[in-house]
Amino acid sequence: MPPLLHAKEIVKRFGGVTALAGVDLELAENEILGLIGPNGSGKTTLVNCISGVLKIDQGDVLLRERSYAHASRTRRARAGMARTFQTPRLFGELSVRENVEVGTNAGRGRQSIKRNRVDSLLHRLDLQDLSRQVVSSLAYGYQRRVEIARALVSEPEVLLLDEPAAGLNDAETADLRGLLLDIRKEGCAIIVIDHDMDLIMNVSDRVEALDDGRVIFVGAPGDAFREKVVVEAYLGAA
């Protein structure tokens, strides 16, 4: 079967710097793909190109074999892509509920159905007792949950998570791991970037490693750090 999502030979340049040099990524139905690599390897740039935050210079972005390479972020969201960011992008003056409800304006499905999901997601992410609280007053871990809830309310087929465990304590990270596995069971494929290798190795079906804007490894999580090229990317050549 063709992949659910295929980022095909993506090239992205910033002036004279090539951030992505023909990167290929495939995501299957109901798969969790861990995207790893050292700082500056191109991970966030790739997710930005897939989600439409950045325009690509060459290549294609295919969802169910339909091209979205030149589609707006809104069109990609309505097609079934949702994402979070390295630093939560929330409306600080709005309540938790209001922030989650913003997500009903994106993605697929009828507005009435998406609104019904708000209560369910607030409960599921342990946010129901905070629903009227201004989001800027929340601890960082709860802000992360609000952003994930906002992404999920649109019922995406593909969820792109950029550093979802950043700033979380061990208990919050364990909760996040369970949440990602539950999301996958419900039929949503996930690409997750994170520096927490325990999280990546425990949730991912496959990992893809980038270095200097190129793919250096694709395979089983347990095999990644057996590859010399991956170890050298993180630790430097001996």
What digits encode the pLDDT tens for the residues 69-79? 999 999 999 99
Asked if 20 contacts 40 with a C-beta cutoff of 8 angstroms, the reply is no
Q: Is 132 exposed, middle or buried (0-12, 13-18, 19+ CB in 10 A)?
A: exposed
- Looking at residue 104, its pLDDT comes to 81
Domains along the chain with CATH numbers: 5-80+157-235 (3.40.50.300), 91-153 (no CATH)
CA distance 73 to 75: 6
- Which phi and psi (to 5°) does residue 55 adopt? -85, 140
> Could you give the 3-state DSSP secondary structure of residue 7?
strand
> Could you give the 3-state DSSP secondary structure of residue 101?
helix
Give the CA angle between residues 21, 24, 30 to the nearest 5°.
150
> Could you give the 3-state DSSP secondary structure of residue 33?
strand
Rounded to whole angstroms, what are the CA distances from 163 to 67, 196, 200?
27, 9, 11
Q: Which of 113-122, 137-146, 156-165, 194-203 has the lowest mean pLDDT?
A: 113-122
Give the chain's end-to-end CA distance (angstroms, integer).
Answer: 41
Closest listed residue to residue 96, CA positions, set 126, 132, 148, 124: 132
Strand partners of residue 83: 160
Strand partners of residue 134: 95
CA distance 73 to 126: 29
Pairing type for strands 32-36 and 189-193 reads: parallel
Closest listed residue to residue 146, CA positions, set 189, 192, 182, 94: 94
Rounded to the nearest 10 degrees, what angle do helices 111-124 and 140-152 cross at? Answer: 150
**The residue count for the chain:** 238
- Looking at residue 218, its pLDDT comes to 97
- Looking at residue 110, its pLDDT comes to 57
Asked if 163 contacts 88 with a C-beta cutoff of 8 angstroms, the reply is no
Question: pTM of whole model > 0.95?
Answer: no
Q: Does pLDDT of 222 surpass 90?
A: yes
| pLDDT tens-place string over residues 56-99 | 999 999 999 999 999 999 999 999 999 999 888 899 899 999 99
Helical residues (DSSP H) of 36-189, grouped into ranges:
43-51, 73-79, 96-102, 111-124, 140-152, 170-185
